[in-house]
A and B are shown apart, each in its own frame.
Chain A
């Protein structure tokens, strides 16, 4: 991509594979970028390449950088192999596969010296730079013997580059073929054609003279691991949280969350009577999607919707109703780049501040920030528990990078804790109590007890409303009644501080410099912290925030560090702003904003460079 890039330090030689590594070789520590036109079928090829490396036991991650378009516009896919297990995007591209005439020159210009370029020979790129390693491949000719069908040949060129890379990088052809069989499961013809194309590329590349240092060598670091995207992980989290009502309106990048959920629900949630134990409704818009979730949560279902920034904006009125009338619902916000329609297929953390206070009046919400696909799974479950425990909408703030890209992960743990359905009074409870007041704080935690419609007791009913109400849910405009209720709602959010997922501290807590980050920034920040220590001897503690409202540990972290870099994928430092609202005024100047807003998944080098710059080093 045409992002200006500083020269990277020379990658070090892999120590753990040293036995088989010649001097000058770079083993299991490089990035590949494939540039193709959108819709050309390269997604399958890239997945095959990713899986083949994964199957060789090498930690790997893949990122799709794609346009808001069905076919034709440029798209990039980056694969990073990292023996040390770093899975953030790598800023430098080490091996470029240039298949797209439209971007080839720009892509080549952005490479650092020494990078390798596999390119479609007619593009004639090798004259553009002298400091790169060139591998021209006449892909049309390579795939010609595979099939007579010209349309298929166009697709198969993509599998041919996988074969070429396999030869050049020492990816085992058998693993490539295994990955192809898996990718085209139950499609025998596609399997056979793609294997043939990969082999054709592999054979052709035998004639190429290897002049780059990059190699894949078998290791044993992916045994038992899974590869999954965050949307699928969140869908699984909802499935195992016992979700019963799913209402949604399609929007990139959240659509696949619900679509994946639907396919799992069909498989795993058909009851003994052969009927669904769930309901999914595609609504007419996001207003209706969240309205249905709120209606279902009110009636006692575990209800959810999934959306992105523009949808969250539309949901704002209902979010306020859910907060004020105290109704559980889970809303997944798979964030993309705003403002407005923005960059619909690029990633960001730009909805944090507006979602924390979504809706008019004094409204505040619980937000969760999953930092991995595993947390997309676990936090989906926690979100339903918190929503029902606190009787309020809970927002799970993922993003496009986490949601739509492939991540390596440990398998997800089966949830051992029973579902927390919150404070609900049954008919028997009402018999015993004689009645109840919906919004009375009987437990001192700000949370009242509720009944569900349909409860067969003459004292079960109450009137749910977004207008002012007293403890009995009766309409009231009295000043003291209103004030007391609002204070109780504030108390409820105070209680939430200690119930939401606690932050995760990396480091001993004694460094002078602290880093705060959250969500999909985690892999890049963890790696950046490692770079700072290894390369510049700068020791930084790192607190990964996992929820809003902030627990006390978050405030304490700022108190304990002289300078706190808040790394975010937005322009304005939205989480830092939330933090400032909580902190004592004299602590606020300790916060330094490290902002990323280019829509690309965050990389470690950008973070460490920026922190070094601000540290004056």
Chain B
């Protein structure tokens, strides 16, 4: 692949942009917040893939996580919507312009509590977008109440213990029709980076639940969403690597130990199995394994489910290739004869 990169540092990507072109505003989140690490991975992913930031549209709801689109990709349009309602806004935007590359960032409260209705319907529509949940189990902006992903027995600093079972957004997403579902940890740079890149090139809903500790309200002893807890309980299913379509594949792989997934644009997602027998194309067994992990107190990470060929909402609507938003009047307003014909039918 020829790269018309500028000779001087900093490094340019294949479309001649530097990483600075993918950065956002300065974060206002707490120092050490997992969300900031995720923003960094997002910047890297789009930079490495050489995607023009102008083609990207960012979406979010309300909460700490939903502020983060301001901290990456300043050259992309962004829509910070209502609490729990990002899915509908993203859906509308993609109906208007199917050429947009959409990424949504939500939180566990924004998705699993107030936004569960729109979330599940987004999943079943398999809307082509990346949907990242920055999952810390608590509401940060309102100072540390539990959300619906908090585990049973998890304890707040105030001593309050969560008694209700958590909603597993990954199991839900798989069951409902999302075509790429993964779970990761904001502290696992390598896994998250590969998972994100594959999500960005995947065509369909790529739902990533990323455990992202809240250093202020939920990083203490007794929390199940803390850095320490993740270090002890992270159970990766695979070792991930991503080979973009624009790179020639030179590295061979052993089909016995590695699953190779060819994505929509010809990129490859390589999953070197760390757990024998896990098949990320098997819906029902993936869900069963997730339930089993929860019962055992493991946090199963990796690519949980992927189907690169599943039809998306845009496919099922059979809309024209050009963005609907930019169709000229000659196309969108039927001619005079059409109105005359209709009027005649009403006489």
Contacts and interface: CB of A to CB of B under 8 A. Distances in A.
Contact of B54 (A289, A291, A455): A455
Name the interface size band of chain A: 35 or more
Interface stretch (B69-77, B241-249, B251-259): B69-77
B85 A291 contact: yes
A276 B80 contact: no
A279 B319 contact: yes
B8 interface: no
B128 to A, nearest CB: 13
Interface in B306-347: 313, 317-321, 323-327, 329, 331-334, 336, 338-340, 342-343, 346-347
Interface in A259-295: 264, 268-269, 271, 273, 275-281, 283-285, 287-295
The range of chain B's interface size is 35 or more
B91 interface: yes
Contacts of A463: 69-70, 78, 80
Contacts of B318: 275-276
A418 interface: yes
A295 B90 contact: yes
A277 B75 contact: no
Contacts, number: 222
Contacts of B317: 276, 279-281
A285 B325 CA distance: 24
B121 interface: yes
Nearest to B97: A299
A358 interface: no
B314 to A, nearest CB: 8
A457 B21 CA distance: 12
Interface string A388-421: 0000000000000000000000011011001100
B333 A298 contact: no
Nearest to B339: A414
A300 interface: yes
Contacts of B54: 454-458, 460-461
A415 B91 CA distance: 30
B80 A300 contact: no
A419 B92 contact: no
A247 interface: yes
B104 to A, nearest CB: 11
Contacts of A461: 53-54, 74-78
Given A300-B323, A458-B54, A269 B100 contact: no
A236 interface: yes
Contact of B96 (A244, A276, A458): A244
A318 interface: yes
A297 interface: yes
Contacts of A279: 95, 317, 319, 324
B75 A458 contact: yes
A321 interface: yes
Nearest to A452: B325
Contact of A291 (B75, B118, B323): B118
B88 interface: yes
B100 A453 contact: yes
B70 A292 contact: no
A295 B96 contact: yes
Contacts of B336: 414
B338 A462 contact: no
Query: Taking chain B's interface residues, is the majority helix, strand, or loop, or is none over half, making it mixed?
Result: helix
A466 B96 contact: no
A301 interface: yes
B233 interface: no
A218 B276 CA distance: 86
Contacts of B90: 295
Given A240-B333, A302-B332, A419-B329, A278 B319 contact: yes
Interface string B47-71: 0000011110100000000000110
Interface stretch (A24-32, A59-67, A220-228, A578-586): A220-228
Contacts of A290: 88
B89 A292 contact: yes
A475 B53 CA distance: 21
Given A226-B347, A236-B342, A245-B324, A298 B319 contact: no
A464 B87 contact: no
**Residue picked from A295, A414, A466, most chain B C-beta under 10 Å:** A295
Contacts of B153: none
Which of B57, B95, B318 has its CB near the most chain A CB atoms (within 10 A)? Answer: B95
A299 B325 contact: yes
B52 to A, nearest CB: 7
A475 B333 contact: no
Contacts of A321: 81-82
A172 interface: no
A288 B121 contact: yes
Given A291-B82, A414-B336, A297 B329 contact: no
A271 B96 contact: no
A559 interface: no
Contacts of A457: 54
Nearest to B118: A288
A239 B319 contact: no
Interface string B135-153: 0000000000000000000
A317 interface: yes
Contacts of B53: 461
B108 to A, nearest CB: 20
Nearest to A236: B342
Contacts of B346: 226-228, 411
A451 B331 CA distance: 22
A300 B77 CA distance: 12
B332 A295 contact: no
B211 to A, nearest CB: 27
A604 interface: no
A153 B252 CA distance: 77
A453 B80 contact: no
Interface string B216-233: 000000000000000000
A-B pairs, top 3 by smallest CB distance, nearest first, are: A295-B92, A291-B88, A300-B325
9 contacts: A225-B347, A240-B339, A247-B95, A292-B91, A295-B81, A301-B324, A321-B81, A461-B75, A463-B70
Given A277-B332, A295-B94, 6 more contacts: A283-B88, A291-B85, A295-B95, A299-B93, A300-B326, A464-B77
Interface of B: 21, 52-55, 57, 69-70, 74-82, 85, 87-97, 99-100, 117-118, 121, 313, 317-321, 323-327, 329, 331-334, 336, 338-340, 342-343, 346-347
